Amino acid sequence: MLAASSLKQPLEELADHWAAQGHDRPVFSFASSAALARQIESSSAADLYISADHTWTDFLITQGRIDDAGIRTIARNQLVLAANTDAGLADRTGPETTLGAALKAGRVVVGNPDTVPLGRYTRDALDRQGLWQAIEGSIVPAASAQQAVRLVSRGETPLGIIYLSDTVGNQHVATLHRIETTEPIEYLALRLPASAHPDADRFLDLLTSERAAEIFQKHGFTAP
């Protein structure tokens, strides 16, 4: 199964739940939605594709690789500006500090806006507020949402715009601001046409179940 990297924790827990019911545990390949869509375009075999936005499902539809009739929205997320806890920025940034001022406190890791949904959501949100151009010189582009989290968690960059879900249980980052996006951050799941696995549809059903909603919520996601 091909899945957006930001879904690793809830999907691994759902896989454990699925295996506990007597099924074979799913095997995931986690990467940026763009990289996974390119794999599908080149006929990479998989049962399910779970994307972090509509851009790459729309791309696959236009390429004739998938049918939009089977797409399901399984969860939503939010953007936050986060700081490495050892950088001291959280102590110097209070509620009165604007997002624009906080962004100027140091280098900022964001997803590559050309290839990573996290980056596209970030660029669109900051463009709307007139902030994107102001910080372009301090941006560190990441190849996936998980790489962005790692860089700010390790202190390789003091700031990062990441998903709210990636701050849950992460003691190395502190949330400075929540960032309103121009569109909902939605995760889309679908069965790929080449899939022949007998349990693919049932696992897809699990992703939209009440049990899945509980697990997604536990990891900082919200219901679609």
- pLDDT per residue as tens, the chain (224 positions): 999 999 999 999 999 999 999 999 999 999 999 999 999 998 778 999 999 999 999 999 998 888 888 899 999 999 999 999 988 776 655 566 789 988 988 899 999 999 999 999 999 999 999 999 989 999 999 999 999 999 999 999 999 999 999 999 999 999 999 999 999 999 999 999 989 899 999 999 999 999 999 999 999 999 98
Look up the pTM and report it. Answer: 0.90
Residues 216, 220: Cα–Cα separation, whole Å: 7
Distance set, CA 14 to CA 18, 207, 208, 210 (Å) = 6, 8, 11, 12
Residues 54, 172: Cα–Cα separation, whole Å: 30
